[in-house]
Chain A
Amino acid sequence: MELALIQIFNGVQYGLLIFLAASGLTLVFGILGVINLAHGSFYMLGAYLALTLTSLTGDIFLATLLGAPIAVAFGAAIEFLFVRHLYKRDHLQQVLLTFALILIFNETQRILWGSYPHSVPAPSYLSGSISLTGALSYPVYRLALTGICLALAMAMMFVITRTKIGALIRAGESNREMVELLGFDSRWLYRLVFASGTALAAAAGMLAAPVESVYPGVGERVLIISFVVVVIGGIGSIRGAFLGALAIGIADALGKVFLPGFASMMIYALMAAVLAIRPGGLFGRAA
């Protein structure tokens, strides 16, 4: 029972991290219509930014604050240089170009940081564990990570559902032409969405660095799981991505302990079950 509780904690924390990565992917897919295979590379960018900036500042949170604007600028530059040319092209061309970006990013990572795995220390003031029950304790950094991810998720949902820029993003998802007809330059809206998605994925990579090692291709598994989350939640739905990521996180964590032989298939079984009931995902529109 205590093991299950620990795994649920781990699953929620992992799910919230995946939500940060997947929310950017679902916005880019849902609003820009671009299948971005390089999204996992932005997670990797965050992990390596955390490595470098933590070594410079000595604090992962300070590193994350410094890394976020770098990730925004990086995302805006990638959108301007490459992605904006894909909006009117078919998905095959999008996949080809963003796959090429993965190869370029991976090679650049090897040149800049090498091929060895690295670890990023959690801040000393969050080291150790907190006792939950008599025999049950949980790492403080993981709890803090859960709280930060939850706060970011709430802030994002507030922006999307309660602000004018959020309404504009939702409008862009349903009808780009109409957004233009109302006087909004969709080029800037798309750049903003892409840069924000990049920053969210990078933030997940940065915050996760102390609980995972930083290694080449660290974003590739995140990319696959993020796509699963997007499909489960419904393309373009932040609310769907939130619930989908939590479900995936908990299913993955519990599966590893209670169904170890089946663990690697858990998330895909969950996706298949959701699609069988709701082909458009939890909050998506059925095709």
Chain B
Amino acid sequence: MSALLEATNIHAGYGAIQILWGVDFRVGERETVGLLGRNGMGKTTLLRTLVGLIDAGPGHIRFAGNDVTHASTAARARAGVALVPEGRGIFPNLSVMENLTLAARAGANGLAEWTVERAFDLFPRLAERRRNWGDQLSGGEQQMLSIARALMTNPRLLMLDEATEGLAPLVRDEIWATLRKVAQAGVSIVVVDKNLDDLFGLADRAVVLVKGEVVFDGAAQALRADEASVHRWLGV
């Protein structure tokens, strides 16, 4: 599988505190990767580094064949990298419709395949609440909006940090079903989530971080079958 995103030797952190120690991370075209690890192991730091919010240190990041190591966050977004951040990042003072239309842009192929109508098809609840302000939505609705908004940028790679954290079971099921549809549409996906069964059900490949280093990078089903390692690395 050809690499859409390839990050090598990532050393990153916050000021004097280093979190990632030489991480290599790759996502293929149309591939879905589950990024796993206990709290504080560097998952969020890695995602933030990949989108350019944190410096990659001596590392290099390539996306769609181009070196984006020193590209701005906005430039990476325009190239097709989208992040649904932990906390969702909904603009509270914009309506649902404004949150979506603000993000709308053609993808790297020049086509706007994800539109407001398609986003509403994916999440009919958002259509009902299109005139509500961002801070009038429930947690689940905010997560739907955050995913739909990321899709409105027509990304080639969609990354989700804590995709279903704090959501009701029915809403979680809706989010996972949506991610399966997005994956079938050809978008590469990286998901961080604590619901391992759902994550293993979606991901082609799994990457496990322990103390800022990659300890496993392989088929998701192989990790799922290795209960001892899952217990040792993930505590479940």
Contacts and interface: CB of A to CB of B under 8 A. Distances in A.
Interface of A: 164, 167-168, 170-171, 173-175, 177-178, 180-186
Contact of A183 (B92, B94, B101, B105): B105
B82 A171 contact: no
Interface of B: 51, 53, 72-75, 77-78, 82-83, 85, 89, 91-94, 98, 101-103, 105, 149, 153
10 interchain residue pairs of minimum CB distance: A183-B77, A178-B89, A180-B73, A183-B78, A185-B74, A171-B91, A182-B103, A167-B98, A167-B102, A180-B74
A174 B93 contact: yes
9 contacts: A164-B101, A173-B93, A175-B91, A178-B89, A181-B53, A181-B77, A181-B89, A182-B102, A183-B78
Contacts of B92: 174
A192 B108 CA distance: 26
A142 B145 CA distance: 48
A168 B102 CA distance: 7
B73 A174 contact: no
Contact of B83 (A170, A173, A181): A181
B181 to A, nearest CB: 22
A80 B101 CA distance: 29
Contacts of B105: 183
Nearest to A161: B98
Contact of A174 (B53, B72, B91, B103): B91
Nearest to B53: A177
A183 B98 contact: no
A171 B95 CA distance: 11
Contacts of B153: 182-183
A175 B51 CA distance: 16
Nearest to A175: B89
A173 B103 CA distance: 16
Contacts of B51: 181
B49 to A, nearest CB: 13
A31 to B, nearest CB: 11
Contacts of A178: 85, 89, 91
Nearest to A165: B102
Contacts of A184: 74
Contacts of B77: 180-183
Given A167-B94, A167-B98, A180 B89 contact: no
A119 to B, nearest CB: 43
Given A164-B102, A167-B102, A168-B102, A183 B91 contact: no
A181 B94 contact: no
B72 A185 contact: yes
B53 A170 contact: no
A153 B154 CA distance: 36
B78 to A, nearest CB: 4
Contacts of B78: 183
A174 B102 CA distance: 14
A154 B94 CA distance: 19
B74 A177 contact: no
A177 B149 CA distance: 15
Contacts of B103: 182-183
B111 to A, nearest CB: 16
A235 B38 CA distance: 39
B153 to A, nearest CB: 6
A237 to B, nearest CB: 9
Given A181-B85, A182-B149, 17 more contacts: A167-B98, A170-B94, A171-B102, A173-B93, A174-B91, A175-B91, A178-B85, A178-B91, A180-B53, A181-B82, A181-B89, A182-B103, A183-B74, A183-B77, A185-B72, A185-B74, A185-B75
A84 B170 CA distance: 45
Given A177-B53, A178-B85, A182-B153, A170 B74 contact: no
Nearest to A170: B93
A170 B93 CA distance: 7
A13 to B, nearest CB: 30
A174 B73 CA distance: 18
Contacts of B75: 185
B4 to A, nearest CB: 17
Contacts of B74: 180, 183-186
Contacts of A171: 91, 93-94, 102
B89 A177 contact: yes
A138 to B, nearest CB: 38
B98 to A, nearest CB: 5
A178 B102 CA distance: 11
A164 to B, nearest CB: 7
